[in-house]
Structure 1
Amino acid sequence: MQLAGIALIVPCALITVLLLAVASLLASRCTFYKKLIDQEIASERFHSIDGLRGFLALGVLFHHSVITYFYYLKGSWTVPPSRLATFFGQGGVAMFFMVTAFLFWNRALIGGARFDAKRFFWSRLCRMVPMFWFSAALLIITAFALTHFRMNVSFVEIARQIVSWLTFTIPGNPDVNGFKNTFLINTVYWSLVYEWKFYLLFPLLALFAEGWAALVPALISAILIALFSQTHVEWYFLYGALAATLGMRSAKLKQFATTRFASVVVVGLFVCIAMFVPTVYRVAAAPLLFLPFLLIANGNTLFGLLTCRPARVLGAISYSIYLLHNFVLYLIVRLVNHFVAIPTMAVVTYWCVISVVAIATVLFASVTFRFVEHPFLKLKMPTWMLPSQDSLRRGADMERKSSVPS
């Protein structure tokens, strides 16, 4: 078993099979998850994307596992010396961005002028905030525990630090209570800042969703990204929206996407990107990753892997997996390092530790999805946010008039 090179696929594949077995038990033995997956299968959804999310979250877990090993070996938190490990993390985040843009732009294309901004932001708050606050609270408590719950900075400074972490690190990710490199407790929050930027822009973008008007925000976005983006990750939101547009307008694309040959194409593209692209955070890499995503978003299941029940469970809890895995990884590896120095550990032994991390993460995520995420997904919008009866009547009148042929 390796931590770099193509052989890295072996331990990652074995752990993935193990996690699918855990997810299978949840799907068959846990009433809540059994019912959840049954409802998901019966509903009209992008089922391949539901399953894809879980594998993307696992990819980020493997990515951070390799980075953590080299952090203990060399003392720096940086991109791993492995194209495959880099692809697992960067590719996973990039495809998460495409998933976000695909789903919401598809909604805008269907809804047109009926887009409800209030309901949109309420759903985003209920979806994103509760689990994030839970995760951020774990980070803050851990930082205090590792500084022995002594106040090392002023109360005002502590308050400022906590606010920064609870607001998706948009103001920054300061050390908490003087604990050096607090961000290492959980390093995934940066990507959520990009998600919120997209959400804030989306109501404006949705105004141009009908017809050729969509070219206006697409062209402006492309120019702004090309001129001002330092990371190039914004391109993936643009390509996600493009995937939704093409899927909406091309029946032949959907027919091809569901074929076995399309699955071969997807696997081949992933292999080529992982082997020959050093980083997907480049302008030229975005269209390469767009191609397999386009097929998956339009119905490709990778020979049924993305729509099996265990994959659906992992997809359902993927947000929790994403927010918790680095925290669990940090604590377990830190604990193990007290007894056996990570750099002296056999690679096989390290992957055994990562197996424990992965199982603990999935089990923890299954609990937080059930009791933290899911209750808020069903939370109704407050009455003061709902449109008045007058505005509802005006909207109905406008819709009725627009449906009368001229």
Structure 2
Amino acid sequence: MLFILVYINHNTISLTHVISFLGGMIPAIIHYFHPNIKVSNKLYALLAISCLIIGLSFDSSSRNYFSKTFLIIAFTIIALGNNLFGFLKINFFKFLGEISYSTYLIHGILLFTTFYCIGFDTVKIMNGNTYMFLIFIIAIFLNIICSFTFYLIEKPFINLYYKIISKKQV
């Protein structure tokens, strides 16, 4: 682990990104060692919402460890099964969860392509409102593209996996 941290510190990978990655591992580790842990009650929902508010109220740069800590706590509670008073059970948010892997894979490509076509210098000098409008339009296209990739690529392979697994259990 020390080797990895030293390598990261002296190369292009930022330690703040590693901390985010490790923060994403926390729920998986907790679930692995404590599979019966319950965080679906209202107290944890309140804690998660409070952590989100605190984490998003301050500077959102990747180097803000204070905000990052609260966001990791909120993420952990949600990833371990809290639905934030049923808010995450809404069909639209379930759908966004289904296409999240496609979103993760495609968003960088779409952003780069858009910024390349517009011109990186043009994007740099955009005012905040114009930039946010551009991101909003990109997000709409991203969700459309990811819906197609989910239903045409991911979902068929997920179904195939379950079909293979069910045959092995018989």
Q: TM-score range by the shorter chain?
A: 0.5 to 0.7
State the match for 1:262 in structure 2: 44
Tell me how far apart the structure 1 counterparts of residues 149 and 141 of structure 2 sit (CA, whole Å).
Answer: 12
State percent identity of aligned pairs: 24
Shift of 1:332: 2.1
Tell me how far apart the structure 1 counterparts of residues 142 and 101 of structure 2 sit (CA, whole Å).
Answer: 12
Q: Flag the 1:375–1:314 CA change in 2: closer, same or farther, 3 A.
A: same
Q: Flag the 1:235–1:281 CA change in 2: closer, same or farther, 3 A.
A: farther
Tell me how far apart the structure 1 counterparts of residues 75 and 60 of structure 2 sit (CA, whole Å).
Answer: 16
Q: SS in structure 2 opposite 1:378?
A: helix
State the match for 1:197 in structure 2: none
State the match for 1:229 in structure 2: 4
User: Does structure 1 residue 307 correspond to structure 2 residue 89?
Assistant: yes
After the TM superposition, which of the residue ranges 262-271 and 230-239 deviates more from structure 2?
230-239
State the match for 1:354 in structure 2: 135
The residue type equivalent to 1:245 in the other structure is F
Tell me how far apart the structure 2 counterparts of residues 322 and 238 of structure 1 sit (CA, whole Å).
Answer: 19
RMSD after superposition: 3.6
Q: SS in structure 2 opposite 1:345?
A: coil
Under a length normalisation based on structure 1, what TM-score does the superposition of the two structures give?
A: 0.32
Aligned residues of 2:40 and 2:81 also touching (Cα < 8 A): yes
Q: Which has the larger radius of gyration?
A: 1
The residue type equivalent to 2:41 in the other structure is T
The residue type equivalent to 1:343 in the other structure is K
Tell me how far apart the structure 1 counterparts of residues 125 and 26 of structure 2 sit (CA, whole Å).
Answer: 44
Aligned residues of 2:27 and 2:79 also touching (Cα < 8 A): no
Shift of 1:303: 3.0
Deviations 1:298-319 (A, max 9, x none): 4321232211100011111111
| Count of residues in Structure 1 that have an aligned counterpart in Structure 2 | 152
Q: Which stretches of structure 1, 4 residues or longer, exceed 3 Å deviation after superposition? A: 231-236, 243-247, 276-282, 284-291
State the match for 2:159 in structure 1: 378
Structure 2, unaligned stretches of length 5 or more?
A: 6-14
State the match for 2:11 in structure 1: none
Structure 1, unaligned stretches of length 5 or more?
A: 1-224, 393-406
State the match for 2:105 in structure 1: 323
Q: How does 1:132-151 map to 2 (within 5 A)?
A: none
User: Does structure 1 residue 245 correspond to structure 2 residue 28?
Assistant: no
Deviations 1:361-393 (A, max 9, x none): 000010111112122222259x9xx98xxxx9x
Structure showing greater relative contact order (alpha-carbon pairs closer than 8 Å, 6 or more residues apart): 1
